[in-house]
Structure 1
């Protein structure tokens, strides 16, 4: 691209920018309608969050929550919420990471790099695909200590 005349380089840069802007706008529209539902590891709480992480629904499948102590129910709710937040964060990353790559290599591209850990913080920590959350692990430690 450096061999092209300046006018052609500027036009290409503007075209690239417009393409990224259109892709970002489409991604934002798609994500605005996103909801994520997750279950706690013990399957006693099911929780749904909206596109901005807001709690939109909570259910207790099988009514297993009735036999739980307050601490156990609290841990299950937090576990389901954390799983939903983590999945929402993963979906946002999946959509926006390629968009950041659309501008890579251009001037100032390093300034456009997204620090996902800074953006989502704890939502990305402590959850494995098939594992136990940090909240459930802490609860088990508490119960074992009693």
Structure 2
């Protein structure tokens, strides 16, 4: 065989290996779920591999004594953490599929930029403190009167 035939044969084998692993990863992802409890232990949230909310439980009746904005903040916090865990696990499962074959190692920009795919979601699992969402700021603002607020008086 010529050098090009060897290269093509190796690339075809790499593609077949990737196809087989893709099927296995899809099956694992389809059955994956991630459950997290809020820091105040009032809410338990379960998400699927795509970060979709699949379960929500209110724990130990704490929710009965919480103000609505406080409960909403607990749900959002637990959901964000569960989604971040799901993103990390998806990366672990999918990374082998994104590693470039040795036959294509010279192709520029052929890697996977996980940061651009998952954005700030990954910061939660990597130890960074997530920036509060605008809705979260409004919830906190409803609880504590901010002297810098503009009122319609």
Structure 1 length-normalised TM: 0.79
Q: Is 1:71 aligned to residue 53 of structure 2? A: no
Q: Is residue 49–residue 90 contact of structure 2 (8 Å, CA) maintained in 1?
A: no
CA apart distance, 1:108: 6.0
Aligned-residue RMSD, C-alpha = 2.9
Pick the structure with more helix per residue: 1
* Counterpart in the other structure of 2:50: 52
Structure (1 or 2) with the larger CA radius of gyration: 2
8 Å contact from structure 2 (residues 46, 53) kept in 1: yes
Q: Which residue of 1 aligns with 2:101?
A: 103
Q: Which residue, out of 9, 12, 24, partners 2:7?
A: 9
Q: Deviations over 1:58-79 (max 9, x none)?
A: 1111111111111110100000
- Deviation of the 1:144 alpha carbon: 6.3
* Counterparts of 1:19 and 1:89, CA distance in 2: 24
Residue 150 (structure 2) aligns with:
none
Give TM-score, length-normalised by structure 2. Answer: 0.76
Query: Residue deviations 1:18-73, cap 9 Å, x none?
Result: 11121122111111111111111111110111222221111111111111111110
User: Could you say which residue in structure 1 is the equivalent of 2:149?
Assistant: none
Q: Distance in 2 between the 1:39 and 1:56 partners?
A: 14
SS across alignment from 1:21: helix
Look up the match of 1:40.
Answer: 38
Partner of 2:88: 90
Q: Which of 60, 67, 75 is residue 62 of structure 1 equivalent to?
A: 60
Q: Secondary structure at the match of 1:17?
A: helix
Q: Tell me, which stretches of 5 or more residues in structure 2 are unaligned? A: 147-153
Q: Give the corresponding residue for 1:21.
A: 19
